[in-house]
Amino acid sequence: MSDPKSGSEGRKPRAFSVDDEATPSRRDQPRAALTTPPGTKTKPTKARRPASLPVTVEMTRAEDDPFLAPAASIEALTPPPAQARTRRITVGKILFAALAFLAALAIGVWTDTLIRDLFDRLPWLGWAASAAVAIAVLALIMLVIREISGLRRLAKVAGLRAEIDAKAATATAREARAFAARVSAMIDSNPLSAQGRKSLKSLDGEIIDGPHYLAFAERELLAKLDRQARQLTLNAARRVSVVTAVSPRAFVDLAYVGFEAIRLIRAMAELYGGRPGTIGMIRLFRDVIAHLAVTGAVAAGDSLIQQVVGHGLAAKLSARLGEGVINGLMTARIGISAMDLCRPMPFKALKRPGIGDFMRDIANFAGADTKPEKTSDGS
């Protein structure tokens, strides 16, 4: 049996240190202190004086902050109400007028020389040429009269719309009835306005204040015309989307979009009583395109398409069909701007159509075309 004293003599006493919470632990000490060999004297480090860093604070508005940009919205693509541009005499117009005058003089001199030569050869040829020139001049005069009347109708529509917009909230009863009578006379050739004109006539003896009478006139006279204009725009947008999806070349898409835009603007002007001529149509088309160029082009990406048609259907749409939806959207924007320029009254009592309404219809139309047909066995 071993002696307990012999075991205790072989073991030396040891001391254990307990770290205080106030003293930094070995883990919290700097790296230089850990690597310093024991017994080496270290210089005490000076405490760093607190200092402030120079910071320039700049306030950024929420709409200018790129990190707070709102999510893409379909209604953001709706163009603002279009206004007719002011006409000014420019250097280009003066140059064009001078060149047109010189061309007219050249044609007149050539025609006079031709008729004189024909009279010298055979008198009856000279008389036939003179009759042809007389018919051409008469047709030219009729064409000029038609173009001038078309321009005057467009100017009358724009002026009436501006007057109603300026006095929509402050018009008297007499002014409101005068405005409604002018609008009724402008669209009297359209059978869709017959019921509205009859409803206005039934209020001849009633006492109604001006703003309410204008709102009633807008609802009665233009509600059916607005529905027809929306249908025209939707049909044009659908045709453009389908042609874009099946056309083999990009220039075919552009040509058809331009063709549909011109036809849509002309149909819109005739619907609201504008009936522009060739020059008036060119001017109206320029106003619509210039307004869309100022307000920005269509910037609808995959996120907007997925927002409307859904992720499942958007995944099934081909690239060409997606381009068709975008071109149809651009056609709808053209139709909305044409409504603003051709409508004799501004949108007050009736809701102005938005791009989201047309986008849903175009997307549903595209989705119906992409649905697979069921076979006889149900697969």
* Alpha-carbon separation of residue 335 from 85, 173, 270 (angstroms): 18, 33, 13
Q: Where residue 376 falls among pLDDT bands split at 50, 70, 90?
A: very low
> Cβ contacts of residue 363 below 8 Å, gap of 6+?
305, 308, 309, 313, 325
- Is the pLDDT at 24 greater than 60? The verdict is no
Q: What number is the average pLDDT over the span 56-72?
A: 63
Q: Where are the domains of the chain?
A: 122-370
Nearest 5°: the CA angle 284, 274, 189 is: 160
Q: What number is the average pLDDT over the span 80-84?
A: 64
Q: What number is the average pLDDT over the span 33-61?
A: 64
Length of the chain in terms of residues written:
379
Q: What is the pLDDT of residue 36?
A: 54
**C-beta separation of 265 from 334 below 8 A:** yes
Report the largest interatomic distance among the alpha carbons of the chain, rounded to a whole angstrom.
Answer: 163
Q: What number is the average pLDDT over the span 97-126?
A: 91
CA 228 from chain centre, in angstroms, equals 20
Q: Where residue 58 falls among pLDDT bands split at 50, 70, 90?
A: confident
Q: Could you tell me which of 71, 68, 85 has the C-alpha nearest to residue 337?
A: 85
Q: What number is the average pLDDT over the span 309-338?
A: 70
Q: What is the pLDDT of residue 82?
A: 63
Percent of the chain with pLDDT over 70: 67
Q: Which of 38-47, 83-92, 140-149, 305-314 has the lowest mean pLDDT?
A: 305-314
* Alpha-carbon separation of residue 296 from 201, 290, 333 (angstroms): 43, 10, 11
Identify the helix (H) or strand (E) that includes residue 70. Answer: none
Q: Where residue 39 falls among pLDDT bands split at 50, 70, 90?
A: low
- Is the pLDDT at 60 greater than 80? The verdict is no
Q: What is the pLDDT of residue 9?
A: 57
Q: What is the pLDDT of residue 206?
A: 82
Q: What number is the average pLDDT over the span 312-326?
A: 62
Q: What is the pLDDT of residue 366?
A: 54
Q: What is the pLDDT of residue 103?
A: 93
- Is the pLDDT at 112 greater than 60? The verdict is yes
Higher pLDDT, 335 or 326: 335
What's the pLDDT tens digit per position in 224-268?
999 999 999 999 988 888 888 777 777 887 888 889 988 999 999
Average pLDDT taken over every residue of the chain = 76
User: DSSP letters of 267-289?
Assistant: HHHHHTT----HHHHHHHHHHHH
**What are 69's two structure tokens?**
């940009």
- Is the pLDDT at 87 greater than 80? The verdict is no
Q: Where residue 276 falls among pLDDT bands split at 50, 70, 90?
A: confident
What's the pLDDT tens digit per position in 156-208?
888 899 899 888 888 888 898 999 999 998 888 888 888 888 988 888 878 88
Q: What is the pLDDT of residue 63?
A: 64
d(CA 254, CA 225) in angstroms, rounded, equals: 29
Q: What is the pLDDT of residue 374?
A: 46
- Is the pLDDT at 296 greater than 70? The verdict is no
* Alpha-carbon separation of residue 226 from 71, 124, 230, 345, 359 (angstroms): 30, 58, 6, 11, 18
Tell me phi and psi for residue 316, to 5 degrees: -85, -20
Higher pLDDT, 362 or 146: 146
Q: Could you tell me which of 263, 323, 333, 322 has the C-alpha nearest to residue 298?
A: 333
Q: What number is the average pLDDT over the span 100-118?
A: 92
Nearest 5°: the CA angle 27, 32, 38 is: 90
Percent of the chain with pLDDT over 90: 14
d(CA 248, CA 78) in angstroms, rounded, equals: 29
